[in-house]
Amino acid sequence: MSVIDGPGAVTESLAGGGTPHGIGTSLPSADAPAKTQGTYPYAADLWAEGLLWAAVLRSPYPHARIVRIDTGEAAAMPGVRAVLTHEDVPGDAMHGRLVADRPVFAKDIVRHHGEPIAAVAADHPDTARLAAAAILVEYEVLEPVTDPEKAFAAEPLHPDGNLIRHIPLRFGDPDTVGEVIVEGLYRVGRQDPAPIGAEAGLAVPRPDGGVELYVASTDPHADRDIAAACFGLEADHVKVVVTGVPGAMGDREDSGIQLPLGLLALRTGCPVKFVATREESFLGHAHRHPTLLRYRHHADAEGRLVKVEAQILLDAGAYADASSDALAAAVAFAAGPYVVPHVFVEGWAVRTNNPPSGHVRGEGALQVCTAYEGQMDKLAAKLGLEPAEIRMRNVLATGDLLPTGQSVTCPAPVGELLKAVRDADLPPLPDGDDESQWLLPGGTSGAGEPGAVRRGVGYALGMVHVLGAEGTDEVSTATVRVHDGRATVICAAVETGQGFTTLARQIVQEVLGVEDVRVLPSDTDQPPAGPAARGRHTWVSGGAVERAAKMVRTQLLQPLAAKFGMSVELLTIADGKITSYDGVLSTTVAETLDGKELWATAQCRPHPTDRLDETGQGDAFVGLTFCAIRAVVDVDIELGAVRVVELAVAQDVGRVLNPRQLAARIEAGVTQGVGLALMEDLRAPRGIVKRPSLTGYALPTALDAPEVRIVKLVEERDVVAPFGAKAVSAVPVVTSPAAVAAAVRAATGRPISRLPIRPQAAIVKPPA
């Protein structure tokens, strides 16, 4: 079955013969009923007897020297139990994901608006907030560095300097020149992951001097290690328990929440709870890197790419976080899924006083996709070719080289994907005379006028890597236990809503033939599984679950096979029954178990990768995934209002593991991309975040979200990946903004070089 058949097929499989199970079926999520009924426990719902409430004091300035902090008045307030500043951090004062460059609490200097300075625990949330406001901080306000281009020459904002990473990529002959040259300058704004559930946590002190953190972490072991180092505790004295994660497009619950919580619990000896306001959430967690891109594309007269030159500047904000990874992706994919013999890229990630940037899915790859697809449209216009045609003449395929010198060994059906979206039927124009029934750009508010609406069609091809790059040790461990005809999966891979627990159940059902499979919640007492990012858990955690399940299977069948003198391979398990190939032997799993429990633990560790060298060369990626999107938009050319009518998606997925879940991931990803293309931009003029609320920061609603049509899923198995499946969530996010921009370009004839697309950029001025 394929999701292309549409929702009808899903319903059919649900109706036909009991619950679906195993790989390739639309097994529903076990959490779905609780989530829809509002009984699913998220971090903000946690409670402990006698808990205190935390509040964090954050910097109102993007750049300032702290002259003095006086907590006396706050600490003396009735109901206040503890006030902590940088002086109260018993362990490492600095922490960070790749580089420890971020203080727990700002000490001498604040480097971004919203940086934590102090934390308070009190017996009432309002008391805590009032006490935080009563902390006296004397600042000497400094000039913020907010233009990343000026960061190079500016005074160092940090002892580590302003340049976080520079990658000069050199591939081919620098002196080659194409017959046709186009240039472009592109900008991508600051997208916020805007997790819809409140960021919250509960810290509970332990009698042994340790602490337990109940947070919606997406990488519990890494968070535990950072927390333990800052608390001055051994790692086994800190336990991170993952609570229900209400949406995670990137990292959640920034360290500005987890670390103060744990410190306050340790100081007061009481459980401490914290629920971030929406404003704090916007100030605290990492955003997508705002990026400036300069491109020069060279092509021959037939439109074949000859050379790509690019300069890519990532605004990392005040701290390094995951900027190094984002830059590697941006530089490596700077030319996109096209064959280019000569590529020269200068990539920088620089420190500024802007809001912090970090991991938001598709980081790096998204920004360059917007730029190289803009360039492809420019080349097409200059050569008089159709946009789809020029792309088709340059598509990458398996066996081609990336500009990093890495050979593409996985399936790369880019041409097939492009052909699928190009040949798909276009959505019909609105028909009927009742214009009030048309959904025009500008929506239901009535301003749209059919006579001013132009329709545009645009294409984009995107690519992104799967798993961490550049030598990251990508490993996951899982345990499978079978007992009483039931199976349990223990794995620290976090279910962020991406569907890992559903997938784990399907894998065990497939391998062991046991229908009732449970996945235990994650915590750091389990072996590490790594972050829930870059499609890792489908690959490494799914792979670990499969191996463990297979080991259990062998343990289960070995005695039977020995008894009947046949090999394990000749036995099959389905629906809880074990049968031999010839049908002679037939028994049940429960009978064979005979009250015993079977356990197995396995690891999955893909082949290692290299760090990009000083010329940007190296086999840095384990896997790649590709996507083609055709966008159809309606633009009101007088008002500049844009409505995305339809996005047709063709994606390289390796193998469909759960059709319904896959379709949901693509729809969600595409919609996040549409948000970035049309409205999502967290404005921070002079480093001050403006309107950090869901009124000020518009997210796509159901009316803004387009019709998402999945026209093709290419199931060419990736032989090195478990089940041959590729990660699916990131690449639609990467590709859809560029597709929308291309369609608006086609509708208006205007150069769309900045995302989000502002109305004034989409207005066609009447001829004078």
Partner 1 sequence: MSTYAQQTAENVTLPTSLDEAVAALAAMPSAVPVAGGTDLMASVNAGLLRPAALVGLGRIAEIRGWQYADGAALLGAGLTHARMGRPDFAALIPALAAAARSAGPPQIRNAGTLGGNIVSAAPTGDALPVLAALEASVILAGPEADREIPVSHLLTGMDPLRPGELLAFVRIPLLHAPQTFLKATGRTGPGRAVASVALVVDPARRQVRCAVGAVAQVPLRPLEAEQWVAGLIDWDGERNLAPEACTAFGEYVAAACIPDQPGVELPPAAVQLRRTVAALSRRALGRALA
Footprint of partner 1 on this chain (CB under 8 A)?
A: 78-79, 122-124, 126-127, 129, 277, 279, 439, 441-447, 449, 452, 638-641, 643, 678-679, 695, 698, 700-704, 759-760, 763
- Name the residue nearer to partner 1 (CB basis): 124 or 690: 124
Least spacing, CB of residue 192 vs partner 1, in Å = 16
- Name the residue nearer to partner 1 (CB basis): 257 or 633: 633
Across the strands, what pairs with 253?
none
Structure tokens at 564: 């009947």
Least spacing, CB of residue 127 vs partner 1, in Å = 4
Least spacing, CB of residue 762 vs partner 1, in Å = 10
Contact 633, 740 (CB under 8 A): yes
- Name the residue nearer to partner 1 (CB basis): 547 or 643: 643
Least spacing, CB of residue 513 vs partner 1, in Å = 47
Q: Are strands 486-491 and 517-519 parallel, antiparallel or unpaired?
A: parallel
Least spacing, CB of residue 457 vs partner 1, in Å = 18
Cα distance between residue 759 and residue 735, in whole Å: 21
Task: Enumerate residues 6+ apart whose C-beta is below 8 A from 697.
Answer: 192, 194, 282, 680, 682, 691
Across the strands, what pairs with 487?
482, 517
Contact 2, 9 (CB under 8 A): yes
Least spacing, CB of residue 223 vs partner 1, in Å = 29
- Name the residue nearer to partner 1 (CB basis): 189 or 303: 189
Structure tokens at 144: 């913020």
Structure tokens at 102: 């971020």
Q: Which of 176, 157, 451 is nearest to 320 (CA)?
A: 157
- Name the residue nearer to partner 1 (CB basis): 446 or 767: 446
Phi, psi of 487 (to 5 degrees): -125, 150
Roughly how many angstroms between the first and final C-alpha of the chain, as a whole number? 56
Least spacing, CB of residue 443 vs partner 1, in Å = 4
Task: Reduce the DSSP state of residue 634 to 3 states and report it.
Answer: strand
Cα distance between residue 394 and residue 406, in whole Å: 18
Cα distance between residue 757 and residue 326, in whole Å: 23
Least spacing, CB of residue 674 vs partner 1, in Å = 10
Task: Reduce the DSSP state of residue 529 to 3 states and report it.
Answer: coil
- Name the residue nearer to partner 1 (CB basis): 432 or 766: 766
Least spacing, CB of residue 120 vs partner 1, in Å = 12
- Name the residue nearer to partner 1 (CB basis): 554 or 693: 693
- Name the residue nearer to partner 1 (CB basis): 631 or 679: 679
Least spacing, CB of residue 152 vs partner 1, in Å = 29
Place of tokens 């545009």: 456
Task: Reduce the DSSP state of residue 69 to 3 states and report it.
Answer: strand
Place of tokens 């994901």: 97
Task: Reduce the DSSP state of residue 397 to 3 states and report it.
Answer: coil
Cα distance between residue 687 and residue 670, in whole Å: 29
Place of tokens 């036995």: 571
